[in-house]
Structure 1
Amino acid sequence: MEPHVRCDQLTSNLDMRHDSDPKLVECFRFVTNALKAKEFYRRDVQYIVRNGKALIINELTGRVEPKRRWSDGIHQAVEAKEGLKIQADSVIVAQITYQSLFKLYPKLSGMTGTAKTEVEKEFLKMFKMPVIEVPTNLPNIRVDLPIQAFATLRGKWQYVREEVESMFQLGRPVLVGTTSVESSEYLSDLLKSRNIPHNVLNARPKYAAREAEIIAQAGRKHAITISTNMAGRGTDIILGGNPKMLAKEIVEDNVLPFLSHDTPDVETEGESTSHKGLSKIKLGPSSLALLAKAAIMAKYVHKSESNEWSFQKAKSAVMESIEMSNTIGLEKLQERVAEVTEMYPLCDAIALAYATVLKDCEIHCFDEGAEVKTLGGLHVIGTSLHESRRIDNQLRGRAGRQGDPGSTRFMVSLQDEMFRKFNLDTEWAVRLISRITDGEDIAIESNAVVKQLLGLQINAEKYYFGIRKNLVEFDEVLEVQRKHIYSLRQVILSGDSESCSEQIFQYMQAVVDEIILGNVDPQKPPKTWDLAKLLDELASLGGNLLTETFKETQEEDLQSSLEQILRYGSVEVDNFVLPNMPVPPNSFRGIRKRTSSAMRWFAMCVDDTSKKGRYTNIVNLLRKYFGDFLIATYLEVLQESRHHDAYIRGIEREALLKTLDMLWKDHLVNMNKLSSAVNVRSFGHRNPLEEYKIDGCRFFISMLSATRRLTVEALLRYWSSPMESEEIFNTADQ
């Protein structure tokens, strides 16, 4: 069936005339996400598929991030595209930007080797942190060769292959940096076609699990390493190799086959690193003898054990032995072994073998490192300019560490992803290159072309800085709300029982105030107020609790009561009760209860947010009466329940937290939708940020109001029907 026919069938029951139709909006979201997943999210670039799951690749570090998922249905669209099981959409329960998170710390500092770029201004503007350059320990003698440009991708990759081959024949170690899993494996296939041994380090598990081993030998003679972005790898490439890592590999290769017959899982243990083309490490007679002894001990332990050792268990035992060797040292190990006769523990045998092999590896790596230095050190090849010069510098910085010699070269194509993304005038560059050469694999080092490419990279950095700046400005709105919510949660969690009760009382008074102020106008006389609706809304708050109380109260009763107050002119506020209206149960007994009532009355009198008028005092008395009545009814229900105070406080805390967390979660979703939609208002010559602030504030006020209302309803109904209270939460959650 043709795709457009299938789409027509799916949308045939939708009303296309009304763009507010929820089904149409949902369908539009699905179609948009499907198009994004198809065109913008590429396998082995933005994500990989492993064990039936789509896993995100961090484009800055080249690492898989298994716990991350794209939001707004994008991840589900990618799963549908790959034919995977579609997981539930991720729910945001809390969020914070890195910038806002860092600002929470009283002191902030950092260390990096790439801050002296365009990002220096960003550090100062965002975090008020100047960048101070620390002199290098040893002079930098690395040679950064000019950028070479190619007209086509094919020409670039052919030249990269030739450059790697020439360096391999010379004996220099080479590190090739790529921007994606796809490009690293493409280059790997090119090198295989020329029988050039190499190792690949990218987000695929069979390579990522062996990251330390691959990096350990990346500085050895004839070593060729293809890696995705090197940011965050955190391991120096030592010329001549890393003796500790090489010694560990030798011990594992000699012991693990005898300790476990399991085949290692490539997904978790990684694919074995390639040693082809590398010089063989010469082990002395003592090392060979101790390795043989450790292998015999491993074989003996394997046969004597009733249960078969798994590969993971065997590897853990070897790692523990190596850690012990690093802690104790060779001399103490020899003393421990000398105290035992023929057979000594497997752990000691492996540790002693490792310590002896390490000595041989150190000698070999030192000699080979000196030889590599005479050849020119590590040669780094960058196959594309990144969207930030910092990442390019991180790749360059792998060569020439601690005063070592080295060289770097960037080879770029006009068809690279970054140039296509930021609309480089490739026709101009291609015409310029075609005037110089006809071959697509001929490198061009023209200053005009290179200047154009570097200028585009600077524009890309400015573009992403603008995105981050815009994100921070939008998050400042949410940060104020976040601080308020988190401080409120902290009061609920850490406050004593009295503070928790006072919070409930304030919620009840606020709910009553909203109902009253929504039905009365202090600038108009009481006879114009909608008192019937007011009584109905108040009675509906507590289910049967208040309905029974006000079932015989009519609008006329409340009207005459208010007129009577107007005739009297003055009332006693402390024990105020509306004439001819029900008296609050038990009134307010105890100094704390009376103090709470007085504080709420004072807050009403000084409230500048509510509407003022000739009848403001009458409105405030109405607020006080119904607020006190609701709280007194609640306290009476608590007394009748005969529950312990600890149990009651627990229920109150649960209601407060559950409603707050639930509605805050919904608020975050609404704010994310608002931030995505508000940019459209710029077409109407409105400032999107200002519009976001206005609507975000309105959303937040509405969320707090809903939190108070739902909490009060849940608590009032809980004592009469716990199941009914639970239904309130479930309905609001849906």
Structure 2
Amino acid sequence: MFSFLKKIFDDNERELKRLSQQVAKVNSWEKTMQALSDDELRAKTAEFKVRLNTGETLEDLLPEAFAVVREASWRVLGLRHFDEQILGGIVLHQGRIAEMKTGEGKTLVATLPAYLNALTGQGVHIVTVNDYLAKRDSEWMGAVYKFLGLSVGLIGHGLDFGDRKKAYAADITYGTNNEFGFDYLRDNMVLYEEQMVQRPFNYAIIDEVDSILIDEARTPLIISGQGQQSTDLYYKFAQVVPRLRAGEDYEVDEKARTVAPTEQGVTKVERMLGVENLYADTEGDDLSHFLMQALRAHALMQRDRDYVVKDGQVLIVDEFTGRLMFGRRYSDGLHQAIEAKEGVKIETESQTLARITFQNFFRMYKKLAGMTGTAETEEEEFRNIYGLDVLVIPTHEPMIRVDHPDVVYKTEEAKFKAVLEEIAQCYRRGQPVLVGTVSIETSERLSALLKRQGIPHQVLNAKYHEKEAEIVAQAGRLSSVTIATNMAGRGTDILLGGNPEFLAKEKLLRQGKDLAQVDEETYESVLKEMKEQCAAEHDQVVAKGGLHIIGTERHEARRIDNQLRGRSGRQGDPGSSRFYLSLEDDLLRLFGGESISGVMERLGLEEDQPIEHGLLSRAVENAQRKVEARNYDIRKQLLEYDNVMNMQREVIYDQRREVLVKADHKETVLGMAELVLADYLDTYCSENVLPEEWDLKALQMVLEQTFFPPRMITQQDLARESREELEQFLKEKVHTLYEEREGQTEPEHMRELERVVLLRVVDSKWMEHLDAMDELREGIGLRAYGQHDPLIEYQREAYEMFQGMVARIQEDTVHYLFKIQLSPKKPQRKSAFRNVIAGGDGADDGPRQPYRRKGKKIGRNDPCPCGSGKKYKKCCGR
């Protein structure tokens, strides 16, 4: 193991040594750039673009271009890139991950490769974890780009179409991973090419790359539409499930986060609901599905850990960042089950319109790079899934933070008692302390205990996210106590002594000033005063040991613990950290095994007596490795299944894009018509049977349903000597009929109709296919019991389903275009598709009446009325 680690570090050192030659080249340009005027420095951008067009590469330009950015940054921001930051910039340009510790200036590093790659004119995306950082960085670093003549865009929530398109057209675009991903999905749902906002993906730099590519990899981006499901059953099951007993009526596996009803539990539920069989379809409702989601909501999902209830809404809490995930909902009815459990209004279940995982979204970029303070522990995953190498960049100043060994207590109560005592000691001596918790519930419990002791403090969790930057920026002041969940202000530095910019604004607001109206002279005067105050306080905090970090529990991933520690000891500042654990913590309880509790018992310690033991530290690390390995396997498996979906998505989206950009689809439609004809002939006039055995009556019926008006062709017309002769006859008939239909309206009207029908049919069938794939994925694991590999079975069935969807797209497109009523005049674009799908075959001449259902609605699980014996959803309801 040691030799393996040594090899990694040797490789890292060797690569850094090689890249330092590039850094020397950048430094050699510094004096030249310093001698240039602002206009001459700005003119370098146009010069670089010309040189690129005449054959030079980005690698050729790198030393000079990086030197230009360094000088521009110094003139505009007063910040000069250190050599280590230049090194980080080179790594990012090469499409790798730069691991740089907290406070090493990752935001500034990104300006170097962003500027260089923006020179190609193909766009650069800088991806952040939240809107606040995207806005801050686009304004702060944007000043450098604008000084050098490049345009900067910002993608934010609620941005209108025009501004969004303009932001994507900019040389460098800032935004969150969610915004970039959702815009991609929306672009693949538009009716006209000009409604698309994104350009082809070129180069992306992901800030906090581990958070986006690993922590969020299990959560797909989904665009949904309104579903039809009734919400009453969610309320009904929310009343039933609390009356069941854990261990008797249902079994919970906390490790795997699964829950399952026992036979006794099922019988009890059936009795309470007054139904004979919970697993039988009841008016199209799958009662067992409602029971499972109600059990998950009741037994697995915890309020103030997994979600919060705010303003009558259930909002998901990101387990890794501790942030609220606005606009995100659990799928498959789980969110509705939680809403019923909490007694808030239930939003109707949605239908998936489009979906993609971040894993497959970011792999579409020609070049991808990332920055984070903690990537090394996940290096294998970055390399295997994204093809990204991790390079650890040395710190500018030596790291002098002291990381104390973990302290383990028998009970949670004893642990919190010790945590409170340490906080009180730090507070009394004036040392700032940041306390990390894994849940909102724990942060609020700790806050209540501190209030009782009269210790002033700030709480930062998803409930108070609006004050995030402000709280974190002041967490390094004398005697400050800050309790934070994992969201602890990623991207905002904790400055010892306080942040002068925030303090200046705070002072002006206290004076009743409107910040927008304050003149620059007044602001600079207050800022100068605050800088002096912070500098003096900085020295006092350093003398007291810097920022002290207290962890109240180990996270599942070592990386998250390292992030918490990394808030302290930035840029050579002193600092310290210690984790307090108990045997009742989830990680140790579920994954620690017998080794930890065995040591505790053998030592025979009192409840409030702590243990610091090498074996315990190793056991904790092993527990974390177990969970990390399990989570990696889950993400890897998710990707294997999503790769199947991704190949299908790429085919559909590529064809859809072709429809958007192409003006004439007549040949495509006629080609589809010929394929549909061939399919009908295979079914009713197989080459394997004699012509006199053909089912001409059935063939005539389907031809009239799809192509021809009634009685246009007869069975006599279809009675031919050979299959080839019949096929040729029908092809000619279909082509002639389509030409006649085209003659009934303007050619451009027909082209528009073809385009819109194609798009709408593709979208409609793709939505149905997504639902069907969800159903397949849900039950595919059971194939393992039949000695079949679930993934191979999934790939095989998914392919068959995709082929079936393509056939239905062809048939429906042809049906609508041959049967829809045509208007002699060209309609307005927005109404071009009105009634195309809902309007039936359009064969009559009078105005069409809206369709009204006669009799009871057919449930998706009801027998299909066509008499096939299949469920409606598997037959005509597809």
Into which bin does the TM-score normalised by the smaller protein fall?
A: 0.7 to 0.9
Paired with 1:215 and 1:725, the residues of 2 have a C-alpha distance of: 54
Kindly indicate whether the alpha-carbon contact (under 8 Å) linking 1:717 and 1:725 is maintained by their aligned counterparts in 2: no
Amino acid at match of 2:274: S
Pair member with larger Rg: 1
2:328 corresponds to? 68
Asked whether the 8 Å contact 1:216–1:238 carries over to 2, the reply is yes
1:132 aligned counterpart, secondary structure: strand
Q: Please name the residue that 1:662 is paired with.
A: 764
Aligned position for 2:620? 453
For 1:159, give the aligned amino acid: A
Deviation at residue 9 of structure 1 after TM alignment: 6.0
1:320 aligns with 2:516: yes
Alignment of structure 1 residues 63-212 onto 2, 5 Å: 63-117=323-377, 119-204=378-463, 207-212=464-469
Cα 1:723/1:247, change in 2 over 3 Å:
closer
Quote how far apart the aligned CAs of 1:153 are.
1.2
1:389 has 2:558 as partner: yes
Deviation at 1:529, TM superposition (A): 2.1
In structure 2, the partner of 1:486 is 653
Residue deviations 1:442-466 (CA, integer Å, cap 9, x gap): 2211112221121010010000000
Task: Return 5+ residue gaps in structure 2 as ranges.
Answer: 1-238, 245-266, 824-833, 842-850, 854-875
Q: What is the 5 A alignment of 1:280-679?
A: 318-321=514-517, 347-348=518-519, 351-420=520-589, 422-425=590-593, 428-436=595-603, 438-497=605-664, 500-542=665-707, 545-550=708-713, 553-554=714-715, 558-559=718-719, 561-562=720-721, 618-640=722-744, 643-679=745-781
3-state SS of 1:439 partner: coil
Residue type at the aligned position of 1:62: G
Determine the C-alpha separation between the residues in 2 that align with 1:35 and 1:521: 52
Tell me the CA shift for residue 22 of structure 1.
Answer: 5.7
Residue of structure 1 equivalent to 2:477: 220
Question: Alpha-carbon deviation of 1:13?
Answer: 4.5
Structure 2: distance between partners of 1:138 and 1:733: 66
Q: For 1:733 and 1:182, how far apart are their aligned partners in 2? A: 46
State how far apart, in whole Å, the 2-side matches of 1:548 and 1:532 are: 12
1: CA distance between counterparts of 2:470 and 2:836?
61
TM score, norm. by length of structure 2: 0.63
What CA distance in whole angstroms lies between the structure 2 residues aligned with 1:254 and 1:247? 11
Q: Secondary structure at the match of 2:548?
A: strand
Residue identity matched to 2:540? E
Instruction: Give, as a single letter, the amino acid of the residue that structure 2 aligns with 1:452.
Output: A
The 2-side partners of 1:372 and 1:451 are apart by 33
How far the C-alpha of 1:521 sits from its partner, in A, is: 2.3
Question: How far did residue 440 of structure 1 move?
Answer: 2.0
Q: How far, CA to CA, are the matches of 2:270 and 2:662 in structure 1?
A: 58
Which amino acid in the other structure matches residue 58 of structure 1?
D
User: 3-state DSSP class of the match of 2:314?
Assistant: strand
Task: Give the secondary structure class of the aligned counterpart of 1:380.
Answer: strand
Q: Given the two structures, how large is their TM-score scaled by the length of structure 1?
A: 0.75
Matching residue of 1:726: 838
Q: Is the 8 A contact 1:140 1:402 kept in 2?
A: yes
- Deviations along 1:525-547, one digit per CA (max 9) or x if unpaired, are 222222221122112214xx432
User: Conserved in 2, the CA contact under 8 Å of 1:717 and 1:724?
Assistant: no
Paired residue type of 2:765? L
In 2, Cα distance between equivalents of 1:109 and 1:353: 41
Partner letter of residue 319 of structure 1? L
Q: Provide the residue aligned with 1:283 in structure 2.
A: none
Seen in structure 2, the aligned counterparts of structure 1 residues 521 and 648 have a Cα distance that, compared at 3 Å, is closer
Q: Which has the higher contact order (CA 8 A, sep 6+)?
A: 1
User: 1:18-69 deviations in whole A, cap 9, x for unaligned?
Assistant: x563658611111110000111111111111111100111111111111111
User: Structure 1 pair 437/371, CA: closer, same or farther in 2 (3 Å)?
Assistant: farther
Match in the other structure for 1:233? 490
Compared CA separation, residues 683 and 231, structure 1 to 2 (3 A): farther
1:711 aligns with one of 805, 808, 813: 813
**Alignment-derived partner of residue 35 in structure 1:** 295
1:711 shift after superposition: 1.5
Q: Distance in 2 between matches of 1:474 and 1:231?
A: 34
Q: Residues 203 and 622 from structure 1, CA distance in 2 versus in 1: closer, same or farther, beyond 3 angstroms?
A: same
Written as runs of structure 1 = structure 2, the 5 A alignment for 1:17-56 is 19=279, 21=281, 23=283, 26-56=286-316
More off after superposition, 364-373 vs 442-451: 442-451
Give the AA of the match of 2:782: V
Q: Any stretches of 5+ residues in structure 1 without a counterpart?
A: 256-293, 295-317, 322-346, 563-617
Q: Does 1:252 align with 2:509?
A: yes
- Work out whether residues 469 and 489 of structure 2, in 8 Å CA contact, stay in contact via their aligned partners in 1: no
**2: distance between equivalents of 1:399 and 1:473?**
39
Q: Distance in 2 between matches of 1:704 and 1:20?
A: 32
650-659 or 401-410, which deviates more: 650-659
* C-alpha distance in 1 between matches for 2:568 and 2:523: 29
Q: Distance in 2 between matches of 1:401 and 1:162?
A: 26
Task: State the Cα distance separating 1:635 from its structure 2 match.
Answer: 2.2
Of Structure 1 and Structure 2, which has the larger fraction of its residues in helix? 1
Match of 2:793 among 688, 691, 716: 691
Judge conservation of contact 1:246–1:361 (CA < 8 Å) in 2: yes
Q: 1:621 to 1:557 in 2, by over 3 A?
A: closer
2:624 maps to amino acid:
Q
For residues 154 and 191 of structure 1, the distance between their equivalents in structure 2, rounded to whole angstroms, comes to 14
Root-mean-square deviation (CA, aligned residues, Å) is 2.3
Q: CA deviation at 1:402?
A: 0.4
Judged with a 3 Å threshold, the aligned counterparts in structure 2 of structure 1 residues 230 and 558 are, in CA distance, closer, same or farther, namely closer
Q: Distance in 1 between matches of 2:617 and 2:709?
A: 79
Cα 1:184/1:231, change in 2 over 3 Å: closer
How far did residue 432 of structure 1 move?
2.1
Which residue number corresponds to residue 325 of structure 1? none
Secondary structure, in 3 states, of the residue corresponding to 1:398?
A: coil
C-alpha spacing 1:728/1:191, structure 2 compared with 1 (3 Å): farther
* 1:518, distance to aligned residue in structure 2 (A): 1.2
Distance 2:822 2:764 in 1: 23
Aligned length: 574
